[in-house]
Amino acid sequence: EAGVAQSPRYKIIEKRQSVAFWCNPISGHATLYWYQQILGQGPKLLIQFQNNGVVDDSQLPKDRFSAERLKGVDSTLKIQPAKLEDSAVYLCASSLISYNEQFFGPGTRLTVL
C-alpha cells in the first residue's frame, strides 16, 4: 500500500513570495490533515478535511494560508505572502476514520529567507 505522498520535499523562498505544497493521501482515506511543525516543537494542526469539506481550520492563518481538497482526494496548501516565521516542516496526514491512526507523509521543509 502506497503511503502519503508530498511534494516538494524542500523549498527555499524569500519573504513575501508565494509557495504551494501538494499532498496525495492514502487511497480510500476520507480525512486529510495539514500540520505545521516548527523546529523543536510538536506538529500543530492547520486544517482538517473530511472528503472535500473543511472540518476544522481554526488554527489556519487565513490572511495568508489557504488550502483546498478538490474532488476529495489530493490537496494543496498555499502560503501567500510568506513570512520568516513560516519556516517549518509542513506535514500532510490522512486517516480512514477521523479519530483513529493518522498516516503521515515525509513533509515539506520550507525555509523563508
Residue of the chain from 19, 60, 82, 93 that contacts another protein (CB under 8 A): 93
Starting at the edge strand that comes first in sequence, how are the strands of the sheet with 75-79 ordered?
Answer: 5-7, 19-24, 75-79, 65-68
Q: Which of 102, 108, 110, 112 binds another protein (CB under 8 A)?
A: 102
Closest distance to another protein from the beta carbon of 98 (Å): 5
Among 9, 6, 4, 20, CA closest to 86: 20
How far apart are the C-alpha atoms of 62 and 56, rounded to whole Å?
12
Site string for another protein, 41-80 (x = CB under 8 A): xxxxx--x------xx------------------------
